[in-house]
Amino acid sequence: MADVVTKSSDPVFTPMPSRPAPVGQRGVIHWFKTRLFYSPASTIFTLVTLYLLYSIAAPFYDWAVTNAVWEASTRRECFDKNMNGACWAGVIHWFDSYLYGRFPVSERWRANLGGILLILWALPIWLPRVSNKATVLTTMVVVYPFLAVFLFLGGDWPLVPRAFAMLGVSFLIVNWCSAILSMTTARNLAQHLGGWFGLADKHPSTLLYPMVALHAVLTALAVVVSYSFTLPYVETGSWGGLFLTFVIAISSSLFAFPIGILLALGRRSDMPVVRISCTTFIEVVRSMPLVTLLFMVIVLLPLFMPAGTQFNKLMQALIGLSLFTAVYLAEVVRSGMQAIPEGQYEAASALGFGYWRATYLVIMPQALKTMTPVLVTHFIGNLKDTTLVSIIGMYDLLGMLNVSGQNPEWNGLYQEPLLFGTVLFFVLCYFMSLYGRHLEKRGSGVSGGI
C-alpha cells in the first residue's frame, strides 16, 4: 500500500462535536404534547379513550380485587361471603391439580425433578466460554427424553431401555464436568482426556473414544444403582395439568424439529420423487385443521396398524402434533435456507464439501440464525396448540381448568380458572417472545455489518 504523504502546513479537519436537541423538542412534556394533545381533535380522542378504558377497568377491578374472596372451602361459601366478587379461593384450592392433573400427590416430586433436570441440562448453553454447547443441545434432544420418561412413567424397565435412560444421567454429569472444565481451563473434558491418552495431535474425531468409554462406565454404574429402587408406575392417563402441557409442547417441538428440517431439504431436493413426496406431505398436512388431524390420529391410525397394537393416547397426540408442527417448521426452514445466498453453496462446493456436509456446516447454521424469530413464534403457537388435546379427552392445563367447575363442591367455577389460565399462558408466551427478541438482537450483533 502506498504511504500517504501529509505536510504540517496542510489544513486540519476536525469533526464538529454533537449538541443536544433544543429544549422544546425533547422530554416528557414534549412527548405528551405531540402524542396525546397535539390538536383539539386528538385531545378529545385521548379523553374519550381514557374514559372507555376506565369504564371497563373499574368494574373488573371491583370484581377481581375489591370484592374477591380468597378463603373458602366450597363455591357456596364464596357466594355467601360476597356474591359480586371473584372466587379465587377455588383457584387456590385447585392450584396443584392445575399444575399436575391427577398425577399421584406422593409422586409429584418426580415431575418437578424432571423439570429441574431439564433446566440443569440446558443451563450450560447460556454460560460463557462453554465449548461443548452442540453436544449439550443434541443430547438434550436425543438422550434426555429417555431419562424423563423413565422418571415420569416409573415401573419396571427392561435392561436396554433402562440403559438408555441411565445414559441420560451419564451425559448430564459429563456435560457439566466438560462445561466447568472449558470455562475454567479453556479446554473441555474430551480435550483433557485426549491429552492424557496422547490423542492431541490426532484428528478431533479420535477424541471421541475416551468419551465413549467414560459414558459406558458411568451408564453401567447408573444402571446398577437404578436397580436398587423402583419408582411406582404412573400411567400416562393420569398425567395432566401444566405438567402435561409442558410434556406435549416440549416433546412435539423437539420431534418436529428434525422432521421439519428433513422435509425442507426434501422439498428443495433435485430428486423428483423425494421432492414431490415431501411437497405433497407438507401441503396435505398443512391444509388440515389441527383438530381434524388429532382425531384422525386417534381414530384412523389404529386401523392401519396390525390388529392388537396397543395405542397410547399421549403417544398418538404427540405424533399428530409433531407432524403438524413439522410441516410448518419445514416451510420456515425452507424460507430460511432460501435467504442464504447461492454463493455460500458454491464456496462450500469449491472447497470440496458434499451436499450433506455443506448443509450441516455452512447452510443450516446461517439459516437457523435468520429463522430464530419465526421459530420462537412457532414454539409459542405450539405451546398454545397443545390445549386442543383437551378435546380428545386429555386433561392438560385447559382440561383441568374445566374439570374444576364440574366438581359438585365447586360447580360452575369457570371464569376464575380460565382467567388464571389466560394469565399463565400470557406470562409463558410473553417470556418466550422476549427471549426470542433477545436472541434476534444477539444474532444480528455477531454477524451484523458495520
Partner 1 sequence: MPSETNAMNITRPDRPHIASIATDHIVVKMTDVNKWYGGFHVLRDVSLAVTKGERIVLCGPSGSGKTTLIRCINRLEEHQFGEIVVNGARLDGNVKNIDKVRAGVGMVFQGFNLFSHLTVLENCTLAPLWIRKMPEAKANALAMRFLERVRIPEQAHKYPAQLSGGQQQRVAIARALCMDPNILLFDEPTSALDPEMVSEVLDVMVELAESGITMLCVTHEMGFARRVADRIIFMDGGEIVEQAPPQEFFERPKMDRTKLFLSQIVGH
Which residues are near partner 1 by CB under 8 A?
1-2, 200-205, 341, 343-344, 346-354, 357, 361-362, 365-366, 369, 446-450
- CB closer to partner 1, 82 vs 366: 366
Burial of 212 (0-12, 13-18, 19+ CB in 10 A): exposed
- CB closer to partner 1, 73 vs 444: 444
DSSP 102: T
**Angle made by CA atoms 102, 387, 308, in degrees to the nearest 5:** 70
CA distance 37 to 332: 43
Burial per residue of 54-73, b for 16 or more beta-carbon CB atoms within 10 angstroms, e otherwise: eeeeeeeeeeeeeebbeebe
Contact 256, 326 (CB under 8 A): yes
Q: How far is the CB of 269 from partner 1 (least distance, A)?
A: 16
Residue with cell 403457537: 381
SS3 track for 260-299: HHHHHHHHCCCCHHHHHHHHHHHHHHHCCCHHHHHHHHHH
DSSP 119: H
- CB closer to partner 1, 19 vs 129: 129
- CB closer to partner 1, 311 vs 360: 360
Residue with cell 410441516: 327
Q: How far is the CB of 444 from partner 1 (least distance, A)?
A: 10
Q: How far is the CB of 349 from partner 1 (least distance, A)?
A: 6
SS3 69: strand
Helix (H) or strand (E) holding 137: helix 133-142
- CB closer to partner 1, 22 vs 352: 352
Q: How far is the CB of 347 from partner 1 (least distance, A)?
A: 4
- CB closer to partner 1, 211 vs 293: 211
- CB closer to partner 1, 296 vs 351: 351
Q: How far is the CB of 344 from partner 1 (least distance, A)?
A: 6
Q: How far is the CB of 125 from partner 1 (least distance, A)?
A: 17
- CB closer to partner 1, 313 vs 369: 369
Residue 209 phi, psi dihedral angles, 5° rounding: -55, -50
Which residues face 241 on adjacent strands? 396
CA distance 262 to 282: 11
Contact 240, 389 (CB under 8 A): no
Q: How far is the CB of 365 from partner 1 (least distance, A)?
A: 5
- CB closer to partner 1, 296 vs 347: 347
**Angle made by CA atoms 326, 329, 333, in degrees to the nearest 5:** 135
The closest alpha carbon to 108, from 123, 118, 98, belongs to 98
Residue 69 phi, psi dihedral angles, 5° rounding: -105, 125
Q: How far is the CB of 346 from partner 1 (least distance, A)?
A: 6
Q: How far is the CB of 363 from partner 1 (least distance, A)?
A: 10
Q: Which amino acid is at 156?
A: D
Q: How far is the CB of 1 from partner 1 (least distance, A)?
A: 6
- CB closer to partner 1, 189 vs 223: 189
Q: How far is the CB of 211 from partner 1 (least distance, A)?
A: 16
Residue 87 phi, psi dihedral angles, 5° rounding: -100, 75
Burial of 214 (0-12, 13-18, 19+ CB in 10 A): middle
- CB closer to partner 1, 191 vs 387: 191
The closest alpha carbon to 365, from 195, 197, 143, 137, belongs to 137
